[in-house]
Amino acid sequence: MIENALLYILLPPLLYAETHYRFKYFFSYLKKREPGIIADIPSRVTRGNNVPILIIVKNADQYPVRVVTVEVLENNRTLRKENTERFFDSPYEDFIINFKPDELSSGSHLIDIRITYRVGDKEKTCHNDNHRGSSHNPLPIFISDTPYPCFDDCV
């Protein structure tokens, strides 16, 4: 019982992927001199509704960044491209870009969010996030012809 409690207390801090810290005298594979950028989409939307794409920029107070473009792709085919040219310099900021999934059929799809950003004078591109070691796999989404089931008194 005590071993399990210690495991639940000690393990999470060791597994946390902090990308802006390293132990003195040790190499850190995760450390990078740029803010964390993460994109996310809902797993299900009803046909006719916009798909909100959430872009989170974290730790830009340490590493200011300009998000140049956000591109929505499916099978390397561009569904939407937005020239954002947004500058970030605070600990946490986010913004949402919407796109209509009209050209997508009903059913499951894999969406890739390509983000082009500039840190200092270097322009870089990431897919879905810029964390080292993550898969950068496309994000799954289900386009439904029917809304979620609900009762008459549901909101």
Examine residue 131 and state whether it is found in any structural domain, yes or no. Answer: yes
Task: From residue 60, give the alpha-carbon distance in Å to each of 44, 78, 89, 113, 155.
Answer: 30, 28, 5, 20, 37
Lowest mean pLDDT segment, chosen from 1-10, 41-50, 53-62, 108-117 = 1-10
pLDDT band at 46 (very low <50, low <70, confident <90, very high): very high
Examine residue 154 and state whether it is found in any structural domain, yes or no. Answer: no
Predicted TM-score of the model (pTM): 0.77
pLDDT at position 151: 77
Beta bridge partners of residue 45, listed in sequence order: 143
Lowest mean pLDDT segment, chosen from 10-19, 36-45, 63-72, 109-118 = 10-19
Measured in degrees and rounded to the nearest 5, phi and psi for residue 74 equal -135, 120
Pull the structure tokens for residue 50. Answer: 């916009």
pLDDT tens digits, one per residue of 57-80: 999 999 999 999 999 999 999 999
Q: How many domains does the chain have?
A: 1
pLDDT at position 153: 75
Examine residue 93 and state whether it is found in any structural domain, yes or no. Answer: yes
Does 20 score more than 50 pLDDT?
no
pLDDT tens digits, one per residue of 96-153: 999 998 888 999 999 999 999 999 999 999 999 998 878 889 999 999 998 887 777 7
- Please tell me whether residue 5 adopts helix, strand or coil conformation: helix
For residue 136, give the CATH number of its domain. Answer: 2.60.40.1930
pLDDT at position 126: 94
Examine residue 135 and state whether it is found in any structural domain, yes or no. Answer: yes
Examine residue 62 and state whether it is found in any structural domain, yes or no. Answer: yes
Pull the structure tokens for residue 19. Answer: 């990308």
Domain extent for 87: 28-144
Examine residue 21 and state whether it is found in any structural domain, yes or no. Answer: no
- Relative to beta strand 92-99, strand 51-58 is antiparallel
